[in-house]
Structure 1
Amino acid sequence: MKSEVILHINGEQRSTVIRQADTLLVVLRHLELTGAKPGCLNGDCGACTVLVNDTPIKSCMMLAIETVGQEITTIEGLHDTAIQRAFVEQFAFQCGYCTPGFVMNAYALTTQKPDADEETIRKWLESNICRCTSYQEIEQAVRSVLVQKKR
């Protein structure tokens, strides 16, 4: 069974037809928002992380129908944020596949917990996996944004 729904994505209303069983990840990619990456498809890797009402969510684990009436932000909805610049400045990526998910998670961390300590940073970043081992650079990117916010 299919339904026509309106999703609020990156500040825009997007009309689409979905099946009740479609994950948010599948629908986003159907809408040509391909920044959220399919990785494990079971919630382990975090490559598909988006924000739903400013909370990091693994879009492979959420049904699209659950997001009707919610605010969805994808990597395409961020524009020249401090965390994006920090990822570039700190070389916090290698192959880049995991980067959108890490950026979304780190963006939420730096906006919601501007006083985050080392343990909080590590705890938040545990939800994402980088197979190329850029963890130190990613943590440094987060730290650099938090330091800027304290100034």
Structure 2
Amino acid sequence: MTEIRMRVNGVVHSLDVEPWVSLLDALRERLGLTGPKKGCDQGACGACTVLADGVRINACLALAVQYADKEITTIEGLAQGGELHPVQQAFIRHDGFQCGYCTSGQICSAVAMLAEHAAGMPSVVSGSAARAELTDAEIRERMSGNLCRCGAYNGILDAIREVATP
């Protein structure tokens, strides 16, 4: 066992974990945070997306020990002071979910994607252009690591577009 400390949703936790325990399993099984979902468990679907120091990661591919002393934010930690995060509010307004299984990963990914775009990080669509317009094609490319088996993509796109538009 290895003892690690990590800040999850603003609270410091001390955990004893085996070196091979994924961050996803530590969050769900050790801390009871069931927002991040185990979909494919291979990094292909994005249902487990969380933020590590503000960067989106697939928690199923990350070892918990790699994230000792990091700030982890799950869907449960996005709301502040009883107010839903603007992306969460937009997903509700635009029906950006159906079954809801992928929703926490979609929302965490969208929050990070908007920050990446604001910081001028390029994508395959924008190429090397810094601060490319956040078109529908750009949003789709930047969110391509998150799959929705129900097909709620139009609502997801509308929600992200609403938050991205000043």
**Equivalent residue, structure 2, for 1:96:** 100
Going by fraction, where is helix more abundant, 1 or 2? 1
**Equivalent residue, structure 2, for 1:18:** 17
Equivalent residue runs for 1:28-43 within 5 Å: 28-30=27-29, 31-43=31-43
Q: CA deviation at 1:83?
A: 0.3
Greater than 6 Å deviation, 4+ residue runs: none
1:113 is paired with a residue of what secondary structure? helix
* TM-score where L is the length of structure 2: 0.85
Q: CA deviation at 1:111?
A: 2.9
1:16-73 C-alpha deviation (Å, 9 max, x unpaired): 1100000000000121011000000000000000001111100000000000121111
Q: Distance in 1 between matches of 2:134 and 2:8?
A: 28
* TM-score where L is the length of structure 1: 0.93
Gaps of 5+ in 1: none
Equivalent residue runs for 1:98-137 within 5 Å: 98-114=102-118, 116-137=134-155
Q: Distance in 1 between matches of 2:114 and 2:39?
A: 24
Count of residues paired in the alignment: 147
Q: Distance in 1 between matches of 2:110 and 2:56?
A: 9
Amino acid in structure 1 at the alignment position of 2:66: E
2:52/2:71 contact within 8 Å kept: yes
2:87/2:111 contact within 8 Å kept: yes
1:144 corresponds to 2:148 = no
Amino acid in structure 1 at the alignment position of 2:5: I
Equivalent residue runs for 1:52-71 within 5 Å: 52-71=52-71
How much is the aligned-residue C-alpha RMSD, in angstroms?
1.1
1:13 is paired with a residue of what secondary structure? strand
Q: CA deviation at 1:110?
A: 2.1
How much identity, in percent, do the aligned residues show? 40
Amino acid in structure 1 at the alignment position of 2:157: E
**Equivalent residue, structure 2, for 1:3:** 2
1:60-90 C-alpha deviation (Å, 9 max, x unpaired): 0000000012111111101011100000000
Q: CA deviation at 1:92?
A: 0.6
1:51 is paired with a residue of what secondary structure? strand
